[in-house]
Structure 1
Amino acid sequence: MNRNKIYGRALWRVLMLLALLAIAGGLVYGWLDFARFSRTPLNVTATTTSIDIARGSSLKDIVNTVREQGLSSASPLYWRLLTEQMHASGKLHAGEYALSAGMTPRDLIANMAAGKVMQRNFTIVDGWNMRDLRQALTHAEHLRQDAAELDDEALMQKIGAPGEAPEGRFLPETYAYVKGDSDLDILKRAHVAMSKTLDTLWQDRDKDLPLATPYEALILASIVEKETGRADERARIAGVFVRRLNMRMLLQTDPTVIYGMGERYAGNIHRSDLTTDTPFNTYTRVGLPPTPIALPGKPALVAALHPAAGNELYFVARGDGGHVFSRSLDEHNRNVACYQLKRCQ
């Protein structure tokens, strides 16, 4: 055989081997680089706390969003390989996703495949009134504002409770929501939660209460809510009001007067306010006011439906968040003189 041919074949084999080694080396390098990419944390900064994936986004769109936010400059091929490896191709959900220090591309793809969108919380505070609630909703981050221009009647119609007065109808709790949810979504959930809670508690109420309906219990609970934030006093204060209702005595509770004053209230009430009649003035009208005066939490609802037994008919604020209770008007007047006028004997 021609020696040149032998050398040629040997050289060809060497070149082929080198080429295969180069290809193998390139594949190994590529795989190692891909593995490094998949476990290297994204470039999350103080200003990149979330990533928003629009509805209908393709993987290419998602990668472009990632690159535009400076989270990663890796090749789109790596992102495609990663989604294939994780069996997430075609399963990535739109939405807003939280970013955190140390999060890797694998973590992000896993969250998107699971639809683990970023949640925010909105808390309805015990004792807020409807005006407070509506104002707080307007400041909730990334919550769509559909109720802002609606009056109370239209709002209740929208959440499926036509004809109801809104005051007191929403249960104070913390409600999770995602970007794109509406303020009406939260209000509807809070309304359903209050209805269910009130109905359940009403079934287990004490016997012989001077309350004809769950709505009357809601009204009484709202008054208890505004009178005290102390757990050890709620049932006791409810007991005072229940006894007054049974005796057809005026409830004489300042929070109802304040509520009836509306925007006229400037931080203090005067004797003239106590004698100025409104539908909510329990110094001039016997019985419960026509609607709740606030959003009562579950503890206030429980207190209204399970008032403490006793014979106390009066109470006055001590000035430290608590109250002094009394059975007679003379005793009450002495307590008023002591704790409000600072004329203790």
Structure 2
Amino acid sequence: MSKINVTKIFTTILYILYITVLYSATKLYQEANTYINIKNHKQLAYIISPQQSINDVLNNLQTQNIINKNFWLYLLLQINPDFKSIQANIYYLKPNMKIINMLALFHRKQILQQYAMVLIEGETLTHFLKRFNHDPYLKHTFNATNLILLRKKLNIKDNYPLEGRFSAATYFYTKNTTDLNLLKIMFSKMNNEVQTIWTKRQKNLPYHNFYEMIIAASIIEKETANIKEKYIISSILMNRLKKHMKLQMDSTILYGTNNKTNMKLLPMLLKKQNKYNTYIIYGLPPSAISTPSKNSLLAAAHPIKSDFLYFVADKKGKHIFNKNFHAHKLTIKKIYKTT
């Protein structure tokens, strides 16, 4: 091979490398300086929790369509590894913010004092909002316990009740974060979670809409904390609904009395008219009865296949399940030693 050909090949390789590097640098610059997609918001409160990595955050932002999926962002992290170090906090994203500025914001060394707001699994919305309304570190802009006003502030267009529609989790925020911003995050988190589970739900479940799945999940949440049992109790709910049997769930009666009823008085209420008394009404109650956990939502969407119709607590923290009423009565007799 002549020296001229070697020189040509070498020059061509250098040229290709130059073009590749130039293209990559240009593309990287363009992607880093792309505006985030929150045109419908004046600003968007975004929470990064302590356990999240930068990859978790980017995946979440892509899921919410705040940024587009692309390879270049991950290349940017390799070139500038400082961006991998993020601070758990609540951040306010604005429409004129570029991706590079957002990453810099997440990385900033200044850590503001953070406070925690916890919505407990199984807690009712009324109970939570009373606590929420008196939190000393939030900036209160309206009376959040007014559910009509809360619905209006959150711009909720459907007519489903608000019970069960805020995600049970720990939310970190900084002082003077507005009550509305935090509630928007809680509502949005639950809405995204529910829609994902609803889309992937088992076929032929007796739900007419996603909120009925939330109602079922809220009952499951109150009936057991055991994850395995959640799927069995879900199957009992489905079996009863399909057979047009009354659900007969004690937890719904308690909710109908604002959870102020002593369990010892429960037998007296079984025949008392109450729109949440599933010993009288058929079908699901008119609203959720608690804040369901993700495990309960998954159980409501994916019940196991069973013939169970009855269950009773065994006094050891679990339940015994039966397929017919006769076996159920014998189980109760054995547990409580009644005649």
User: Which TM class, normalised by the smaller chain length?
Assistant: 0.5 to 0.7
Measure how far apart 1:147 and its partner are: 4.3
* Structure whose alpha-carbon radius of gyration is higher: 1
| Structure 1 residue runs without a partner (length 5+) | 1-94, 96-110
| Residue of structure 2 in register with 1:217 after alignment | 213
Q: Is the Cα contact below 8 Å between 2:246 and 2:282 reproduced in 1?
A: yes
| Residue of structure 1 in register with 2:310 after alignment | 314
> Would you say 1:248 and 2:230 are equivalent positions?
no
SS in structure 1 opposite 2:273?
A: coil
**Greater length-normalized contact order (CA 8 Å, ≥ 6 residues apart):** 2
Q: Identity over the aligned pairs, expressed in percent?
A: 31
SS in structure 2 opposite 1:233?
A: helix
| Residue of structure 1 in register with 2:115 after alignment | 120
| Residue of structure 2 in register with 1:22 after alignment | none
Q: Is the Cα contact below 8 Å between 1:167 and 1:294 reproduced in 2?
A: yes
Partner amino acid for 1:203? T
Change over 3 Å in CA distance of 1:209–1:273 after alignment to 2: same
Partner amino acid for 2:128? L
| Residue of structure 2 in register with 1:158 after alignment | 153
| Structure 2 residue runs without a partner (length 5+) | 1-89, 91-105
| Residue of structure 2 in register with 1:324 after alignment | 320
Q: Distance in 2 between matches of 1:263 and 1:313?
A: 25
Partner amino acid for 2:271? T
Larger deviation, residues 237-246 vs 262-271: 262-271
Q: Is the Cα contact below 8 Å between 2:125 and 2:290 reproduced in 1?
A: yes
Q: Distance in 2 between matches of 1:334 and 1:146?
A: 56
> Would you say 1:204 and 2:211 are equivalent positions?
no
Partner amino acid for 2:117? F
> Would you say 1:283 and 2:279 are equivalent positions?
yes
Q: Distance in 2 between matches of 1:187 and 1:178?
A: 14
Q: 2:170 aligns with which of 163, 170, 174?
A: 174
Partner amino acid for 1:127? G
TM-score, normalised to structure 1, is 0.64
Change over 3 Å in CA distance of 1:119–1:309 after alignment to 2: same
Measure how far apart 1:212 and its partner are: 1.5
Q: Distance in 2 between matches of 1:218 and 1:261?
A: 20
| Residue of structure 2 in register with 1:69 after alignment | none
Measure how far apart 1:151 and its partner are: 1.3
Q: Distance in 2 between matches of 1:179 and 1:267?
A: 40
> Would you say 1:239 and 2:265 are equivalent positions?
no
Q: Distance in 2 between matches of 1:272 and 1:147?
A: 40
SS in structure 2 opposite 1:338?
A: helix
Partner amino acid for 1:209? L
Q: Distance in 2 between matches of 1:132 and 1:305?
A: 26
Superposed CA deviations along residues 249-276 of structure 1, whole A, max 9, x for unmatched, are 0000000011111265245433231111
| Residue of structure 1 in register with 2:288 after alignment | 292
- Aligned-residue CA RMSD in angstroms? 2.3
Measure how far apart 1:231 and its partner are: 1.0
Change over 3 Å in CA distance of 1:336–1:128 after alignment to 2: same
SS in structure 1 opposite 2:227?
A: coil
Q: Distance in 1 between matches of 2:321 and 2:144?
A: 45
- In the TM superposition, 1:42-121 aligns within 5 A as 114-121=109-116
Q: 2:182 aligns with which of 183, 186, 197?
A: 186
Q: How many residues align?
A: 234
Q: Is the Cα contact below 8 Å between 1:152 and 1:165 reproduced in 2?
A: no
Partner amino acid for 1:197? E
TM-score, normalised to structure 2, is 0.65
